[in-house]
Amino acid sequence: MVNNIKPNYRKYISFLIYSIVIAFIGYMLLAFWSGWHDFIKVIEDIGFVGLIVALLLSLFNYILRFIRWQICLGVQGYKVPLINSLGIYLSGFALTTTPGKSGEAIRSYFLKKQYDVSYTNSLALLINERFYDFLAIFLLAIVGINLFVTYKYFIIFSFFFIVIFALFILKKGVLEFFLEFVCTYDNKVAFFLRRVLEIGISVRRINTVGVFSLNLVLSVLAWGSEAYALYFVLDLLSLSVKIDYAIFTYAISMLIGALSFLPGGLGSTEATMVTILTLNNINQPIAIAVTLFIRVVTLWFAVLIGILSLLIVFFKLSINKNESNIFLE
Q: How far from 205 is each of 117, 121, 235, 249, CA to CA, in Å?
A: 15, 10, 43, 34
Contacts of 48 (CB under 8 A, 6+ apart): none
Decide if 306 contacts 96 (C-beta within 8 A).
Answer: yes
pTM score of the predicted model: 0.86
Decide if 300 contacts 291 (C-beta within 8 A).
Answer: no
173 three-class SS:
coil
137 three-class SS:
helix
**Sign of dihedral through CA atoms 170, 174, 180, 184?**
negative
As a whole number of angstroms, the distance between CA 199 and CA 180 comes to 14
As a whole number of angstroms, the distance between CA 60 and CA 54 comes to 10
The tens place of each residue's pLDDT in the chain, 329 residues long, gives 334 334 455 565 666 666 666 766 766 676 666 667 777 888 889 999 999 999 999 999 999 999 999 999 999 989 999 999 999 999 999 888 776 677 788 899 899 988 989 999 999 999 999 999 999 999 998 887 777 767 777 788 788 878 887 777 777 777 777 887 788 777 888 788 888 888 888 888 898 888 999 999 999 999 999 999 999 999 999 988 899 999 999 999 998 888 877 766 777 888 899 999 998 888 888 898 899 899 989 998 998 899 899 888 887 777 665 544 443 34
